[in-house]
Chains A and B, each alone.
Chain A
Amino acid sequence: MNEAVKNRELREKVAQDYEWGFSSDIEQEFAPKGLSEDTVRFISAKKDEPEWMLDWRLKAYRAWLEMEEVDWAKLDIPTIDYQDAYYYAAPKTKPKLGSLDEVDPEILRVYEKLGIPIEEQKVLAGVEGARKVAVDAVFDSVSVATTFREELKKAGVIFLSISEAIREYPELVRKYLGSVVPQRDNYFACLNSAVFSDGTFVYVPEGVRCPMELSTYFRINAENTGQFERTLIVADKGSYVSYLEGCTAPMRDENQLHAAVVEIFAHEDAEVKYSTVQNWYPGDAEGKGGIFNFVTKRALCSGDRSKVSWTQVETGSAITWKYPSCILKGEGSVGEFYSVALTNNRQQADTGTKMVHIGANTRSTIISKGISAGKSNNTYRGLVRVLPRAENVRNFTQCDSLLLGSECGAHTVPYIEVKNPTATIEHEATTSKISEDQLFYAMSRGLDQEAAVALIVNGFAREVLKQLPMEFAVEAQKLLGISLEGSVG
């Protein structure tokens, strides 16, 4: 088959509709369109925030006005008109609920259509042995259902929407908010600091092992509504928590801006596992529509022997700009980053991590698996920095890229800055194509082409997928297969 014919066939086959594209019509109560101090005040007032919070937002807003968008990523970002968007949208009634039964059925139907296994439902139905996963369901900007709070409360774990936390635990929030990602860290983090609409707050007290996996499903459901989630997780001395975040989004024509901030603060001997499956609308085959995803995720391993693991499966969004990072300050602290990033059609992803070694005997592991199909571009960008006083640091980095077809791009951009000679840094990188041998071998055993591709890609990503909690791993495997349907000719 000659290249031209092959490429045409590829294009046709890659043209696969977004399976979960739909929107539901729940009345929105919008903030006025555009961004100004008034918008910031509106959001803060809507949420009954205390004075200090409003001041914090306004400070960020004024700083943001002075800043410029970043342009160093290998991304082609269209001009974003920040005045042509809404910064706040919430379901009109904001019920205080004891269970999911009381949630607007329209909202529950959205989850159902998404086919997401809300473990919540199992537990409510009284399924014995179902693993308890607390779902703090964020629908658009406001949490409409927070459950399991009682059980968590017994353990002393605080798991709330951040709006509630600001009202109920102002001292805790005030102490840690912005302590890992300062307002001025970058353009998008600063914007988020000014207008964040909602998000999640987690506090695990000293010595507590969180009794269940904490899960938040984010959804975007309003036209032209930027989503500015803010997540803050604090793990006190010797505590442990595993947090799951997953998202799919309804189909829209307009680009939707998303600029989330996630901060994790880990004290001495604390461990936090943060897992993400991201499947926001990637745009159509021509790249029209789709989410712009500019995310700042960072963990501070503040205490000695603390540990933070980031695991992400990124398959959605038109543009992904995201570098979950670890500041390894405590002696012997450990940072891990496991990533699968899949791009198809005209999707662009520039994603990776930063491991900043400040303390002695700190260790980090980076495993990145990039999968590119269609005309997409997929870049791994990673920084490993070892500061002068960090003795005996160890880092291992492995970046593998898999290409499907000949019109996509895979790039690996490692930055390694070592200021202490006792460090041991290893970096391995490979780029490969799905081989015809592998495809034919799998097909000769009875698998059709799509099943064969899904099998091979899942094998390629296995090292990362096995880091995910079981219920997430299954979802992620399906997602990889669905995202690549028909992408090999």
Chain B
Amino acid sequence: MLQIENLHATVAGKPILNGVMLSVPAGEVHAIMGPNGSGKSTLAYVLGGRPGYEVSEGSVTFDGLDLLALEPHERAAQGLFLGFQYPVEIPGVSSLQFIRESLNTQRRARGEAELSGAEFIKLARAEAAELGMDAEMLKRPVNVGFSGGEKKRAEMVQMGIIRPRFAVLDETDSGLDIDALRTVGAGINRIMRAPDKGVLLITHYQRLLDYVKPDKVHVLSKGRIVRSGGPELAHELEREGYAEAAA
């Protein structure tokens, strides 16, 4: 589904990714783990198409489509969702307005019918309830005044409403307490565990993987995948640290 070949990328002229090779077939959840500075967030941003993250070599295909040739909003319309490590505040724009406009723009781009106001509100309320978020919060400006944990939960509500085909989740677990972690984990499984969907779960710690069982775990170090394995690799990393595992 997602095919990353020999991906090199620079930020402000500095090489960060140095030949990432990775393949996520449909129906699978892959975790990417690695120490700080290994290039995890850069990988997420490159997949999302963030300006300033320049690809110098390699390719990324998404269901056979050249992902790197698309603008960020076109990637979204193709079904890619990027869950942000630090979700951004947009003052004066309610979450409801933001998600509805996003969703309907995507649907228009795909030639699908837009959701009516009533349909959308119903969907948004249902997703908020599933993720243990007070629906009233959706009336507030996007992420403004939200705690770290609330922002992450709000990202998952967005994902639940948008229903992407592939999600790149960048440290979605950080800032969550243990109860929130369980809810968010269940949400990821519910929304994204399907034969035609895929997830790239970027995380520093093993703990989210207790709730979202990965099919594969990859270790990123210095901009390259240095080890790949099954779920047991995450536990090994947790026990022995990245220095050992990456060696």
Contacts and interface: CB of A to CB of B under 8 A. Distances in A.
Interface stretch (B35-43, B44-52, B56-64, B228-236): B44-52
Residue of A436, A452, A459, A463 ringed by the most chain B CB atoms within 10 A = A459
A445 B71 CA distance: 11
B102 A447 contact: yes
A460 interface: yes
A486 to B, nearest CB: 14
A399 to B, nearest CB: 15
Contact of B72 (A437, A443, A455): A443
Given A444-B48, A447-B102, A461 B92 contact: yes
A445 B102 contact: yes
A441 interface: yes
9 contacts: A437-B88, A438-B90, A440-B51, A440-B88, A443-B49, A444-B82, A445-B162, A448-B71, A458-B92
Interface in B151-178: 158, 162
A398 to B, nearest CB: 13
Given A440-B72, A455-B98, A446 B105 contact: yes
A445 B90 contact: no
Interface in A423-458: 435-438, 440-449, 451-452, 455-456, 458
B215 interface: no
B191 interface: no
A407 B159 CA distance: 37
Interface in B68-113: 71-73, 75-77, 81-82, 84, 87-93, 98-99, 101-103, 105-106, 109
A273 B105 CA distance: 36
A460 B82 CA distance: 24
Contact of B73 (A435, A443, A456): A443
Contacts of B49: 443-444
A441 B99 CA distance: 12
A17 B211 CA distance: 54
A446 B73 contact: yes
Contact of B92 (A442, A443, A459): A459
A431 B98 CA distance: 24
B141 interface: yes
Contact of B91 (A442, A448, A452, A459): A459
Contacts of A460: 91-92
A462 interface: yes
Nearest to B99: A445
B183 to A, nearest CB: 22
Size category of the A interface is 20 to 34
Contacts of A461: 92
What are the 5 tightest A-B residue pairs by CB atom distance, in nearest-first order?
A459-B92, A462-B92, A445-B102, A459-B93, A446-B76
A446 B109 CA distance: 9
Contacts of B76: 443-446
B51 A436 contact: yes
Contacts of A436: 51-52
Residue of A445, A446, A456 ringed by the most chain B CB atoms within 10 A = A446
A447 B105 contact: yes
A291 B50 CA distance: 40
A13 B84 CA distance: 29
B88 A438 contact: yes
Given A440-B72, A441-B87, A463-B92, A446 B103 contact: yes
Contacts of B73: 443-449, 452
A446 B88 contact: no
B50 A440 contact: yes
A446 B98 CA distance: 10
Contacts of B141: 459
Contacts of B92: 458-463
A392 B162 CA distance: 52
Residue of A438, A449, A458 ringed by the most chain B CB atoms within 10 A = A438
A442 B48 contact: no
A437 B72 CA distance: 13
A461 B158 CA distance: 24
B105 A455 contact: no
Nearest to B77: A446
Contacts of B75: 444
Given A447-B101, A448-B73, A442 B90 contact: yes
A446 B106 contact: yes
Contacts of B48: 440, 444
A445 B73 CA distance: 6
Contacts of A444: 48-50, 72-73, 75-76, 81-82, 84
A451 B105 contact: yes
A460 B89 CA distance: 12
Contacts of A451: 101, 105
Nearest to A441: B88
Nearest to B103: A446
Interface string B101-138: 11101100100000000000000000000000000000
Nearest to B76: A446
